Amino acid sequence: MKIKQFVYLLGVLACFGNIPIKEAMAQEKFFRAIGTPHAPKVEVAWNRYYTYAGVTDIVQKIAKAHPDLARVESIGKSYEGRDIWLLTISDFKTGNPDQKPAMYIDGNIHSNEIQGTEFSLYTAWYLTEMFQDNDFIKELLADKTFYIAPTINPDARDNFIKEPNTPHSPRSGMIVLDNDGDGEAGEDGFDDLNGDGHITFMIRKSPTGRYIKDPLDPRKLIQVEPEQKGEYEMLGYEGIDRDGDGKVNEDGIGYYDPNRDWGWKWQPDYVQRGAYKYPFSLPENRAVMEFVMKHPNIAGAQSYHNYGGMILRGPGAEEDLDTYNREDIQIYDAIAKKGEEMIPGYRYLVVYKDLYSVFGGELDWFYGGRGIYTYTNELMVSYLYFHKNAGRGNQDEELKVDQYLTFGDAFVNWEEYEHPQFGTIEIGGFKKNFGRAHPGFLLEQDAHRNMAFTIYHAFHTPKLSITDVREKNLGGGLKEITATISNDRLMPTHSSQDRKYKIERPDYVTIKGAKVIAGMVVENEDFNKVKEQQLSPEKLALENIPGMNAVKVRWIVSGGGNYSIEVDSAKGGRANWK
């Protein structure tokens, strides 16, 4: 097509309101990259981090641009009154999203572990923007629902982003506590002495110092050998001792851990450091719990943390070891092992065995309390830098990253400062947005790979169908109808934890339009072994429909006529045969 003809065609289409001419012309500057939306309705830059206002803007734009695929709601209020946004992503034209097998995703329960928000948002954005052009996404959203809460700690997220902080604090929420026991709360908050927006380190010269600056790289401090003489002593993060107790910054924002607040194997603070008053005492976690309780269709879940490049499953503590039985662990293993292939540098681990004990964690409540197959991904790993497993905290590697990949943007060079208590000091070190958080150039790639893992997880939530219906004439006006209910995915309709505690209702298989004399579940068709259900035989209750397997049901009916069969499963969705 000639250029003049193309421009004319664009003008005609623009007149009918189908394509904004400026946008269409702009897209002609690009060649479509595989696996990426080419002309998204919602333009989002995935190489940066968003404040609460930015998150709010993105979720609302997604819902407005894709009304048939996305809706946004507030599931509750944070401690400071911010809405906790949740996006429901599904093809609304193919059925009620709350009746489809669902995947729940959240991020940023720890305020300094921020990229979980962007990863969650990316998932919602990608699913909606790729829907028109990708058959797999169309089929996925026809069958499944995604519930996505980008940040479940919005107050402290904004504090971390907007206020001077270290890479590690604040970890929790915005309730201000008296952590040093002096009767005053929050009086030793962080002091940004040099006004750069980051809380870095203080050092000063001292005859008893144990550190020197590296002659080849003055950014780097080297600890000297015992027999050597140092030049500098470490004073910790920059700040002022405001209460005269000899410590700086010991009263931070909310020294509790919202990931110790969940109602499964919860322990008080003197047992599990960081626990608050009682299970679900924090309004943010309580909002999530109440949403999950109202949505029994949630079959899989994912929470995003940082750091370390891990795909984690429970149990959080060895004392909870018997909760996770062999049958469910096989499913966990199959999905997570595929995740290791999808996300280079990430490892599949068990919390209590490979890390430390956690009581009252979100991961364990979702599985232990609700029978939902759940992972926590610890985002970002140093492998992404140079494809070597050096590990976080490796100062040499981090300095190389700053020199060769971020060109000095990650480090505050040492500068003198007159401290009111310590005298002449130097302030410097890595910024709060380096180390635990992805640099911008790695953010979208890791977001996409982690999203792909959650899509794989969601894909393997139950998919039910009625695959075979057979009739047998028994004589005397009686007929035997046998139906096969298949589940084509890894996950059963009820995890073993669900079945153990009868968390969710049974799956129901109902025959309509026939006069039912008897109804039964076929336990062994070859030997004609059945289990009869005498009460309401037309609506058979199934304990479970196993993954990658099938269950047979049978009715004895009298008379003829048309009939239909329906399957109704809380976590497996619905299927019909006519």
Average the pLDDT over 312-316 and give the result.
97
Average the pLDDT over 121-129 and give the result.
98
- Per-residue pLDDT tens digits for 147-167: 999 999 999 999 999 988 889
d(CA 393, CA 553): 58
d(CA 125, CA 58): 9
**216 band by pLDDT with thresholds 50, 70 and 90:** very high
In the three-class reduction of DSSP (H, G, I as helix; E, B as strand; rest coil), residue 87 is classed as strand
d(CA 546, CA 566): 18
Q: Is the pLDDT of residue 3 over 50?
A: no
Tokens of 55: 């998150």
Q: Is the pLDDT of residue 572 over 70?
A: yes
- Per-residue pLDDT tens digits for 542-561: 999 999 999 999 999 998 78
Q: Is the pLDDT of residue 24 over 70?
A: no
Q: Is the pLDDT of residue 519 over 60?
A: yes
Average the pLDDT over 322-329 and give the result.
95
Give the residue with greater pLDDT, 186 vs 496: 496
Could you tell me the sign of the dihedral formed by the alpha carbons of 533, 534, 536, 537, in that order? positive
Assign domain 31-159+260-382+439-459 one CATH number from 3.40.630.10, 2.40.10.10, 3.40.50.2020, 3.90.870.40.
3.40.630.10
Q: Is the pLDDT of residue 23 over 70?
A: no
Whether the link from the prior residue into 170 is cis, omega within 30° of 0, is yes
Q: Is the pLDDT of residue 178 over 50?
A: no
**Which string of b and e fits 38-70 if b means at least 16 CB within 10 Å?**
eeeebebebeebbebebbbebbebbbeebeebb
Average the pLDDT over 192-200 and give the result.
91
Assign domain 464-577 one CATH number from 2.60.40, 2.170.130, 1.10.3470, 1.20.930.
2.60.40
Whether the CB-CB separation of 120 and 103 falls below 8 Å is answered with: no
Whether the link from the prior residue into 356 is cis, omega within 30° of 0, is no
**What confidence score (pLDDT) does residue 26 get?**
61
Give the residue with greater pLDDT, 170 vs 43: 43
**What confidence score (pLDDT) does residue 171 get?**
75
Question: Lowest-confidence range among 36-40, 165-169, 178-182?
Answer: 178-182
d(CA 67, CA 69): 6
- Residue 191, C-beta contacts closer than 8 angstroms, at least 6 positions apart: 164, 238, 239, 240, 248, 249
Which residue in 538, 519, 539, 521 sits closest to 530, CA to CA?
A: 521
Q: Is the pLDDT of residue 390 over 50?
A: yes
DSSP E strands: which ranges in 268-368? 298-306, 310-313, 347-350
**What confidence score (pLDDT) does residue 255 get?**
65
In the three-class reduction of DSSP (H, G, I as helix; E, B as strand; rest coil), residue 308 is classed as coil
Average the pLDDT over 51-72 and give the result.
98
- Per-residue pLDDT tens digits for 231-248: 999 999 998 887 777 777
Q: Which residues on adjacent β-strands are paired with residue 482?
A: 470, 554
- Average pLDDT in the chain: 91
Q: Is the pLDDT of residue 183 over 70?
A: no
**What confidence score (pLDDT) does residue 256 get?**
85
Query: What is the percentage of the chain residues whose pLDDT exceeds 90?
Result: 82
**What confidence score (pLDDT) does residue 25 get?**
61
- Per-residue pLDDT tens digits for 429-438: 999 999 999 9
**What confidence score (pLDDT) does residue 7 get?**
45
Which residue in 353, 366, 348, 354 sits closest to 265, CA to CA?
A: 366
**What confidence score (pLDDT) does residue 252 get?**
53
**What confidence score (pLDDT) does residue 197 get?**
87
**What confidence score (pLDDT) does residue 361 get?**
97
d(CA 240, CA 423): 12
- Per-residue pLDDT tens digits for 471-490: 999 999 999 999 999 999 99
Tokens of 199: 């809380």
Give the count of beta carbons closer than 10 Å to the beta carbon of residue 105: 27
Q: Is the pLDDT of residue 187 over 50?
A: no
Average the pLDDT over 391-407 and give the result.
90
Give the count of beta carbons closer than 10 Å to the beta carbon of residue 392: 16
**Where in the chain are the domains?**
31-159+260-382+439-459, 176-252+412-430, 464-577
Q: Is the pLDDT of residue 185 over 80?
A: no
Tell me the DSSP string of 469-501.
EEEEEEETTEEEEEEEEEE-SSS-SS-HHHHHH
